[in-house]
Chain A
Amino acid sequence: MKLPDCKKNRPLREDTAGRLNIGYLISQGLKNRRRNRSGAVSSSAVLFVCLLLLGSAYLFAANIINILDVVQGENVIMVFARYDASKLQVDALGRQISAMENVEDVQFISKEEALKQQLALLKGSASAALADNLPENPLPDAYCVTVRNMEAFASTADSLKGLQNVENIRENRELAAQLTGLSKTAGAAGLGVVLILAFGSLLVVMNTTRLSMQKSEDAIKIMRVVGSTERDIRIPFLVEGIANGLVAGVLAFGVVWGLYAAAIAYLQPMISVFFAGQFLPFGRFVLPLIGAYLLVGLATGVLGCRFSVRNYFREKGKVVEIVP
């Protein structure tokens, strides 16, 4: 206690004075939460949706960036021979490519090999069925050309395209540009939605806190009268807000995890057909996600509660009069 105190007739232990009974205040907060169930459900739900979108946007962006890295780092151009080119013509093409100035390395990929590779990416029975039913190999012979100087990449690609017996080439500049555009749009839209939802969550948390404070009005008055500090009066409501935030965080984490696992299972084979890139493993997202969810959950809980408590005290005045 900060004020002088007379020891006479004082059965209470002085040394505990002023030490905050945090455990009790926390339990009060959880009790308030149970009493304010609809508030708990609505704040957790809105926050959950917000966190879910936030997490999905993050995972999506991280994967796009990863694929972009792979794609952009590729100093490789696939040159596909014409379907009707003879073995000799294809060999000649290979020598022509090797002779080119900016070519570091040339690797021949026969159409049989290519088919084998593609089939291997599909799952067992599907690939067998496909292999059996193909009338003939639909893939062309190809050369995998490694470019020496990336700055001359474009001109090399153009000259490769101009060679005889070349059906087409595949280089990923265009794809990279498209992916960049896509990730930017998705990122901006995602951020916008997340911001709106975060704001919404804040409002819902504030409203929930307010409801809870109204339900606890008598308790607040008693706390003030017996000499609780304003900080201590806030604690139960903070606990309630934080608990709601954490529930939303845990749920969102679980759901994002599940969705991501499903995405890998269903999308990976399709994606692998086009890119060397793979889905990033979920493990590397666990810590950042938990961190972000804790942060957002706590921040909404704390901020929403703070604003609400401040408004409450401002409205009701700091005064709790003796007359009702």
Chain B
Amino acid sequence: MIHIDGVSKTFVDGDRTVHAIQNLSLHVKRGEFVFVVGRNTSGKSTLFNLITRELKPDDGTLTVDGTELGRIREKDLPYYRRKIGVVFQDFRLLPNMGVFDNVAYAMRVIHSHSEKEIRKRVAYVLNLVGLAQEKSRASIHQLSGGERQRVAIARAMVNNPKVLLADEPTGNIDPEMKVEIFRLMRGISAQQGTTVLMVTHDHDLVKQFTGRVVTLEGGKLAGDKVYRVPLARIPATVFPAAAKLLLPGDERASAQTAGHGEAPQSEEIGRLNNLLSILNNRYGASA
């Protein structure tokens, strides 16, 4: 779905040159869910801006859903963007409209749908993001941060995008609501088959989920791992060997250096495979 090959982006800001993205290659399959993590200024937002073609790369190619972005004509750009839903950290809801109209807005400004179609679709996405029917009449300032972000996600999904980009969607949300938004994003990906990239700073939360985690550092790819069991639920001290098996390459190495014994014996691997299926049965719900 998303193919990023050797992409670089450099900003020149006065006499300061920032290599925001450096020779980055990343491939994301259709329907895949990817956490994108990394420190501030590691280039996460720049990566998203490159995918939406708000920015042009200095080098390399991006192809999204079969469209090579370098070949899109300026006037076709809006049509390309209709394939992508975007969720912002600060929600960006329109305060002079209610919940329903905010979501419907994204439909109304690009197509000529009938009101009936709009009502149906908006109700569908509001339900998808877990907002009760009554909330659709509420005004934005009556909602909590978590609810606002749900509305924003509904708006991003209302035109049924192929790709959903969420840039720190939990950045302005109460801690206890964050996990809900995480679940929601995962659920949308699983249920709608949408390819989702989600930037987050909440490492502890990421550890509670399975799936792919891409790490950026100084504009470069610093890690790209798929967790089959939530990292947080692998009690490394209790099942040190299991941890080593379940973790992707480098974390396995670090688990080893943490001093929990040597490479597992083959007999041990059999037992660990059993353990793996138990763990997956038990914690796989979020996978």
Contacts and interface: CB of A to CB of B under 8 A. Distances in A.
A binds B: yes
A232 B105 CA distance: 13
Given A25-B109, A322-B45, A11 B160 contact: yes
Contact of A9 (B89, B113, B165, B193): B193
Listed residue (B76, B78, B165) with the most chain A CB atoms within 10 angstroms of its CB: B78
Interface residues of A, number: 42
Interface stretch (A14-22, A70-78, A195-203, A256-264): A14-22
A24 B162 CA distance: 25
B113 A12 contact: yes
A200 to B, nearest CB: 31
Given A11-B160, A228-B78, A16 B109 contact: no
A23 to B, nearest CB: 8
A283 interface: no
B280 to A, nearest CB: 27
A23 B124 CA distance: 24
Given A6-B162, A10-B160, A322-B88, A226 B110 contact: yes
Interface in B136-176: 155, 159-160, 162, 165, 167
A121 interface: no
Contacts, number: 114
Contact of A11 (B45, B66, B105, B124): B124
Contacts of A229: 75, 78
A4 interface: yes
A21 B117 contact: no
A16 B82 CA distance: 14
Interface stretch (A172-180, A215-223, A271-279): A215-223
B94 A226 contact: no
A152 interface: no
Given A221-B92, A322-B49, A324-B90, A21 B108 contact: yes
Nearest to A225: B86
A321 B45 contact: yes
B182 interface: no
B79 A3 contact: yes
B160 to A, nearest CB: 6
A229 B77 CA distance: 8
A65 B106 CA distance: 57
Contacts of B96: 35
Given A3-B80, A225-B52, A322-B88, A12 B160 contact: yes
Contact of B110 (A5, A227, A321): A227
B111 interface: yes
A100 interface: no
Interface in B57-92: 65-67, 75-76, 78-83, 86, 88-90, 92
Contacts of A226: 81-82, 106, 109-110, 155, 159
B81 A16 contact: no
Interface of B: 45, 48-49, 52, 54-55, 65-67, 75-76, 78-83, 86, 88-90, 92, 94, 96, 105-106, 108-113, 117, 121, 124, 155, 159-160, 162, 165, 167, 192-193
Given A230-B78, A324-B90, 14 more contacts: A1-B82, A6-B65, A6-B162, A12-B111, A12-B113, A16-B113, A17-B111, A18-B111, A227-B78, A229-B75, A232-B109, A321-B45, A321-B54, A322-B45
11 contacts: A2-B76, A11-B121, A12-B160, A16-B111, A25-B109, A218-B94, A222-B92, A224-B78, A228-B78, A322-B167, A323-B45
